[in-house]
Amino acid sequence: MFLKKLSEKTDNKFPFVRIKEVVFDRENFSVEMVIVLPYDIDYKVWNDDVREDLEKNCRELMPDTFAVHFRYVKSTLDEDIIKRVVKNYFVENNKALIGQIDEENIAVNISKNAVKITLPCFDCVCDYMQKSGIVDKMTDYLNRNFVADKIAINLVKIGKQDTREILVKQEDVYIDRGIVNISAQHALKGSGIDSRPRYISRYDKPKDSVCVCGCVSGFTRRVSKTKGYVFYTFTLDDTTGTMDIMVFTRSKKKACLDCVENDQYLVVEGKLEEDDYRKGLCLFAEKVDYCKIDFDEMQANMKASYDAQKKKNKSYPMPYHGSGNSNLMDFLEETCELLENRDVVVFDLETTGLDTERDRIIEIGAVKLVKGEIVSYYSTMVDPKMLIPAGASSINNIYDKDVADAPYIEDCLPDFMDYCKGCIIVAHNAGFDVSFVKRECKSLGMSFDNMVYDSLQLAQKAFPGFGRYNLGFLCKKLGIELNNAHRAYFDAEATARLFIKEANKLQLK
């Protein structure tokens, strides 16, 4: 819509630009415009004068009270990039349709400045995509990301999907849903519980409605000092974890749970909240029932899930056969004490995002230095148990299909930490990567006590006049080869070469 207004205002003076995004920040009265240009645009067509004219016309279409900022990106009409953006469209806008698209056989044909996309999809969604306007929306999405004269999407029906095939695939990898089967309930408080309890281990933060079951311990009957009402405190244990329970009543004498004893089985439902007195989570029960719990089935489910996870592909340390070792130490007049006496693991992570509390690891790459030479490497993808955001994939080129057969973090992190045992740890912008590893170690009950060096901070000391210290810039400046940037192993190998230069120059001990 904005591009249409701009074209009308300027009589189509800027046919070579696309407006990818207009972001309003109403709180700060500002607007950011993301403008897409062709990758190979000629200087005569695009120069400072043209840019100033474009920005002037854009500002005139914006509210006077808003500050307008511009960000420019260049795109190229490349088959692989367009395929990737098509897949991203479904991830961002229509996740339910991902399984109905034959992603592997998407075809892109580029002729002059026109793009034709052939999209194979199953019968059941082909007509739906046409009638619901998804094809038009996708075309608009692509037009905002690429500068092309025409973009056409052609849907091709590939027949009906065999649902039996899907069921077989689901059975191959058992997923424990964390639901507990209970029976013979008898209501003690409330009108009876209809919800199915879930594993206690699934709850690690406050939640309005929680249903859990387990064996009772620490059962205590108390009386409130203010109104004299009876209330109860106890702990439930379902073998996956424990949870503190509190039950309030309106009785001053005999109350609903007076008959309960330790080692009995209860199912409770209520609100899980932070309890200041207990310094942790506590479930304030609204309903309580006696029950019988099928612990044998629980154990069988957990074992089946664990066995299925073990089938996922795992990676182990491998000997390094790269040609780079021959010149790693050539420039050193004198090897520093640290490289001579300590083994070093240089590592890098790729993640689903930048939030160290919520995002997940999707790739670990590392190399080990012994006396300043790379002797082995460790590289593994990691299944984050979540969809990888399109923004992350656009940077590291890691997609959901790439981690489908990868191990979970709990299956590969112990191997990685064993690889790092007794070594100094090095990473570029180490605070970010190490915070992810420490968080996962804590959740698995593992310790992280390695000494850590940050190659970014060391670069600022060793090369104070550079001004920029991101890994790509440093490698270019220092003549270090960096292939496949933003992939964990290749970044780790380049960081190792950078660290050797830093360690020697600073004479680290």
| Closest by CA position to 423, among listed 450, 447, 441 | 450
Active-site annotation holds for 486: yes
- Pairing, β 207-223 against β 373-381: unpaired
Residue 69 near residue 32 (C-beta atoms within 8 A):
yes
Q: Which element (helix H / strand E) includes 50?
A: helix 48-60
The token pair at 464 is 């104070």
Residue 486 near residue 396 (C-beta atoms within 8 A):
yes
Question: Which residue's entry shows tokens 């074992």?
Answer: 303
CA-to-CA dists, residue 406 to 273, 309, 411, 477, 509, angstroms: 35, 9, 10, 35, 38
Helix (H, G, I), strand (E, B), or coil: what is residue 157?
strand
The token pair at 167 is 């069921």
Q: How far apart are CA 47 and CA 388, in angstroms?
A: 37
Which ranges constitute the DSSP H helices of 352-399?
390-396
Q: Which element (helix H / strand E) includes 422?
A: none
Q: Which of 69, 186, 321, 486 is catalytic?
A: 486
End-to-end CA distance of the chain: 61
| Closest by CA position to 362, among listed 372, 350, 353, 379 | 350
The string over 8-35, giving b where at least 16 C-beta atoms fall within 10 Å of a residue's C-beta and e elsewhere, is eeeeeebeebbbbebeeeeeeeebebbb
Phi, psi of 285 (to 5 degrees): -75, 135
Q: Classify burial at 193, counting beta carbons within 10 Å of its beta carbon; exposed 0-12, middle 13-18, buried 19 or more.
A: buried
Helix (H, G, I), strand (E, B), or coil: what is residue 339?
helix
The token pair at 425 is 């740890």
Helix (H, G, I), strand (E, B), or coil: what is residue 452?
strand
Q: Where in the sequence numbering do the catalytic residues fall?
A: 486
